[in-house]
Structure 1
Amino acid sequence: MSSDERRHQFGEYLARLRKDAGRSQRRLAEMLCAASGTHSVTRHEVSRWERGERVPDSWVPKIADVLGVPANELERAAAYARGEVDRAPFGGGVVLAELIPPGDPLVPLDTRIDRRIGGEDVAGLAARVHGFRLADDVMAGGDLMAPVFRELNSAMRLYRESTHTENVGRALLVQVGELAQIAGWIASDAGQHEQAERAYRIGIEAARQAGDAPLVANLAGSLAYQLSNTGQEKAGLHLANAALEEAGPDAPPKTRALFHDRVAWAHTRVGEAQSAMQALGRAHDALTEEEPEVAPQWAYWVSRAELEVMDARVFTELRRPLRAVPLLTDVLTRYDATHAREVALYRSWLAVALADANEPEQAAEEARRVVSVAADLTSDRTTGRARLVLRRLQEFEDVPEVRELLHDHGHLLSA
């Protein structure tokens, strides 16, 4: 990463911290002046920091104090931006550093319950975690939110309150991280994005403490995907790249394929077509590599078909329907019909691609299927895609099939 990119990344980080604290640039400057007893900081200086033109030096501890954030994290981020350290905190730079929640919900308690846990307890938790993954394949987020977060809270209590060996503790932290990832994914699907982000943050810390870099990357990449889809495209791109860096070149090929796919989507969302296509190519290349070791269980679903779906979604987003339509059509002919949410989501992309290809009649047919399935799912993602498809088809309202579709379901646009 170039020095300009490092400074720009720090500037975006500082701007987010300031906004989270509810301060304007002018107010931050005033507070810094009051804290230092001088008038040497202006709104324009704060603006230069946030644009990446300069990196504050002696002001960093006072900025941290005024914004109520850990000074050591801000100082490490500034040092990375100035090029004083070669590797950013936690391997993913400023972006990953800011995800760790204040305090540590995983710190063992001084007083523990009289229970010693071992490998069998961890294996039981691992089975329940994978059970939630499989349930997510056929159920929507709204149906799974309560039980998965109960399980996550229970797993954290188990780690904090019981006694165990170092190896068992590390294995337990891995399962907490994996559970946090699926909990975050489920919450995001239910439209509970703040709760999803908190789960991802907890999971990143658990995986980091366990020394599991691919799992850290999976959690960070999952959050990057959420950011890319919820109006924070630049932050999503920074975090997707940070996740890939965290995983490193020695991560199992199947996991690297997933991380490259997320980078491709993040580039797509910011309109960087060439970079997106390059990342798609790297994802396919990674998947064809020989697996030197068994991929982690959480990557069970990564396959050529899933990469082709992402290919098609990127092509659709970049308005290349002639490439998207054949891919999605082929994948849908062989996709497991019990995965109703995924089928509906993929059909929504097909509907948009067909509209872009000036095939409104077929697009309306696919859209009707999407709306029908979305009505039966407690999935915010599916509902949102249904609305997006209906909006996309409004320009074809003179076509009978589209007019009928909008007559039957147009009310969803104002819901």
Structure 2
Amino acid sequence: MRRQTAAELIKQARTARGWSQADLAREVCRAAGVPVDTLGRQEIYRYETGRRTPREWLPFVAGALSIPVADLERAASIKARERTPTTIADFLPPDDPLEPPDAASGRQIGMSAVRDLTQRVHGLRLADDVLAGGDLIGPALRELRTAVRLYSDASYSDSVGRELLRGIGELAQIAGWIASDAGRHVEAERIYRLGIVASHRAGDLTLGANLLGSLAYQRSNTGDVRAGVTMATTACEQATDGPPRARALYSDRVAWAHAKAQASQDAIRALGAAAEALAEHADEDEPGYLYWVDAGELQVMEARVYTELHRPLRAVPILRDVLERYDATHTRELALYLSWLAVAYAEANEPEEAAATAHRVISLSSDVASERTAERVRVVLTALRPYRDVPDVRDVLDWVS
């Protein structure tokens, strides 16, 4: 039977007493006979996430929680490989970006305020379908600031508070996506982590998995492939009871993370899991943010994964099939998906087709304020350069030079 770690033991004993992390910090200081602000809440947070072991504070932590010192010492000696699997809670930021409101502060709000926020969030999602991050980053950040201020300043019931936190989490997901598309990756990560805090407090594992999976996608695409795999896998494991389209989306992100890490078998298995999950989709109740997850999107990811794994003969027919039916009003996505087709053509030794597709990618991207499309144009041009002696390729390369 697996033994509890010190992190698990401390958190379990604290929550059983109904204490916050700040409460425990104060009680530990009292047990140690030192001023109550000597040990802060952040240190308790580090103990409970396994980032740090109590060491000299261990007997006082044990005393405050009425745990035998020997039991806590044994728990603290457990090696890292024996610890529990990573969870969404392990990615909470050490600070508190969402200050809980005072019980009697601010104007009273009800569910109508939450519904208004939900409608604005969905409006941002629909806008993101046709506009790029550079166009939407201002409105998205203003909406997020307004929602966080409402949470901190208003007064509301517990049920309204939970729904407000859920709305902030959903808003953080689309705002983080928009910031990432605008190339503001550091800001996007802060926003995603704020959303993870909101979803955690709301008790919404499916939403938390969406936020962590979005952060995993950014990490994978910006070169931190190891973190991308860890985050995407954790998100998927935490959403096993979520609706089918959520599980399909999160498995797709696992597939992409493994593809970026060149772990081909893991990536292909995750693609299969995504398809199996989507096949279960019927008329179940599900969050609104899953509206875009369908068979076509899974096909696109499958083709992207095969392109990333340098299997162009698998990727090309899938992408051609999907792009024949794709909504041309979604300019950014069309340019992105065409970019993978261009690279797949180049790797399949079809330089003329690659050049023609690259021309479309560049034309579509020219007026799109998206760092994603700009980066994909650079990738496409790199794929074309070995074929510079081919006239069609040379024309494209000269056109952008």
Q: CA offset at residue 191 of structure 1?
A: 0.5
Provide the residue aligned with 2:222 in structure 1.
Answer: 230
TM-score of the pair, normalised by structure 1: 0.78
Provide the residue aligned with 1:302 in structure 2.
Answer: 293
TM-score of the pair, normalised by structure 2: 0.81
Larger CA deviation: 102-111 vs 194-203: 102-111
Provide the residue aligned with 1:46 in structure 2.
Answer: none
- Check if 1:202 corresponds to 2:189: no
Deviation string, structure 1 residues 99-147 (Cα, Å, up to 9, x no partner): 3223322222338654111111111110000000000000000010011
Deviation string, structure 1 residues 28-58 (Cα, Å, up to 9, x no partner): xxxxxxxxxxxxxxxxxxxxxxxxxxxxxxx
Matches within 5 A, 1:252-401: 252-291=243-282, 293-401=284-392
For the Cα contact (< 8 Å) 2:101–2:151, is it kept in 1?
A: no
Q: CA offset at residue 255 of structure 1?
A: 0.2
Q: For 1:81 and 1:378, locate their aligned partners in 2 and report how far apart those are by CA, in whole Å.
A: 48
| Code of the aligned partner of 2:46 | A
Q: CA offset at residue 320 of structure 1?
A: 1.1
Gap regions ≥5 residues in structure 1: 7-63, 411-415
Provide the residue aligned with 1:219 in structure 2.
Answer: 211
For the Cα contact (< 8 Å) 1:252–1:292, is it kept in 2?
A: no
- Check if 1:246 corresponds to 2:238: yes
Provide the residue aligned with 1:168 in structure 2.
Answer: 160
Distance 1:315 1:182, change over 3 A: same
Matches within 5 A, 1:76-155: 82=80, 86-88=84-86, 91-92=87-88, 96-97=89-90, 99-110=91-102, 114-155=106-147
Identity between Structure 1 and Structure 2 (%): 54
For the Cα contact (< 8 Å) 1:228–1:235, is it kept in 2?
A: yes
Q: For 1:256 and 1:71, locate their aligned partners in 2 and report how far apart those are by CA, in whole Å.
A: 30
Task: Give 3-state SS (helix, strand or coil) of 2:50's partner.
Answer: helix
Q: For 1:293 and 1:395, locate their aligned partners in 2 and report how far apart those are by CA, in whole Å.
A: 50
Provide the residue aligned with 2:395 in structure 1.
Answer: 404
Provide the residue aligned with 1:61 in structure 2.
Answer: none
Deviation string, structure 1 residues 330-385 (Cα, Å, up to 9, x no partner): 11111111000000000000000001111111110110111112110110000010
Q: CA offset at residue 175 of structure 1?
A: 0.4
Report the number of matched residues: 342
Task: Give 3-state SS (helix, strand or coil) of 1:107's partner.
Answer: coil
Gap regions ≥5 residues in structure 2: 6-38, 54-75
For the Cα contact (< 8 Å) 1:112–1:161, is it kept in 2?
A: no
- Check if 1:75 corresponds to 2:50: yes
Q: CA offset at residue 291 of structure 1?
A: 4.0
Matches within 5 A, 1:52-63: none
| Code of the aligned partner of 2:138 | A
